[in-house]
Amino acid sequence: MLTSLKQKLVELELYLLKSDVRSSPAELDLLIHNDFHEFGASGASFGKREVLECLPKEKCPEFCATSFELRMLSKDLAQLLYRATMKKQDEFNTRYSLRSSLWKHNEELGEWQMIFHQGTTCERF
C-alpha cells in the first residue's frame, strides 16, 4: 500500500509543478487544502488564498524533481521529501532546493491535498 501511496503523492506533486496546473485557480483549489501553509525558499510565508491569487499570474519555472521519499505521519497525513531544480524563464542559473510537502487525506473529497510545503535553497547536488 505504501508503494502505491508514494506513487500517487509523487504524481500529485509533479502535477502541481506543471505550468497548466499552476496557472489554473480551479486545479489549485482542488489540490491544495484549505489550511495550506508554505514557507518558500525566499523566506516568504503564505496560505491558500495567496497561492490562488498569485501563482496563476507567475511565469512557471522549469522544474526537475528527484529522490522522493515518503514518510507516514499518521493514517491520513504523509510527508513527501525530495530534491528539486528550478530554472526561471528569465534567469540563466539553476536553483537547487530540498523540499518537503505534507499531504492530508480529505475524507469529504476522498482525495489527498497538500496542506504544507517548504522549499529550502541548498548547494548544487
Mean pLDDT by 10 residues, the chain (125 residues): 90 97 97 96 91 94 96 97 92 92 96 97 93
pLDDT digits (tens, 9 = 90+) for 35-62: 999 998 788 899 999 999 999 999 999 9
Number of domains in the chain: 1
pTM of the model: 0.93
- Domain interval for residue 6: 2-121
CATH number at residue 18: 3.10.450.50
Identify which of 24, 3, 21 has the alpha carbon closest to the alpha carbon of residue 12: 21
What is the per-residue pLDDT for 42? 80
67, with CB counted inside 10 A (0-12, 13-18, 19+), is exposed
